[in-house]
Amino acid sequence: MTLEVGGVIAFERTFTAKDVEVFTELSGDVGIHHMTPDEQGRLVVQGLLTATLPTKVGGDHNVLARTMNFEFLRPVFTGDTIICEVTIEKYERQEKNRTAIITSFLCENQHGKEVLKGNFAGVIL
């Protein structure tokens, strides 16, 4: 995909109990809600694990992030499929073969409920 202002990059992921287990080990985020299933057998996915969706899109396009802002709107549970849409707000060539990029993103669950929104900015080297 060619990156340009107004372009939208979409990505989706279904979170599993194994994802939460591995992230718990890596991050040390051992909140009881990440370790004990609810009455439906689900775990709450760590917010920063959910935030890997827009950062994956940045990584796919070699963005060296300078700022990231996240607003966590509702919990994500194991078994949820989250669709993340990243919109390019600014894409501008700079000196030294760098490109500045500013994006906004919105993540929704499989029911169309917003779970995470925010933005990130950086440079593409």
Q: How does pLDDT run across 82-92, given as a tens digit for each residue?
A: 999 999 999 99
User: Which is nearest to 1 in space by CA: 85, 117, 98?
Assistant: 85
Counted domains in the chain: 1
The whole-angstrom distance between residue 117's C-alpha and the CA centroid of its chain comes to 9
For residue 37, tell me if it sits in a domain: no
**CA 63 – CA 41 distance, rounded (Å):** 37
Could you tell me the residue range of the domain that residue 86 belongs to? 8-15+46-124
For residue 101, tell me if it sits in a domain: yes
Give the model's pLDDT for residue 3.
Answer: 86
The pTM of the full predicted model, rounded to 2 decimals, is: 0.91
Residue type, 83: I
For residue 69, tell me if it sits in a domain: yes
User: Which is nearest to 109 in space by CA: 24, 37, 14?
Assistant: 14
The whole-angstrom distance between residue 110's C-alpha and the CA centroid of its chain comes to 15
For residue 51, give the CATH number of its domain.
3.10.129.10
For residue 28, tell me if it sits in a domain: no
For residue 105, tell me if it sits in a domain: yes
For residue 34, tell me if it sits in a domain: no
Q: Where are the beta strands (DSSP E) in 24-124?
A: 63-72, 81-93, 99-108, 114-124
Q: How does pLDDT run across 18-77, given as a tens digit for each residue?
A: 999 999 999 998 888 888 989 999 999 999 999 999 988 888 888 999 999 999 999 999
**CA 88 – CA 39 distance, rounded (Å):** 40
- Residue 21 neighbours by CB under 8 Å, 6+ apart: none
**CA 85 – CA 96 distance, rounded (Å):** 29
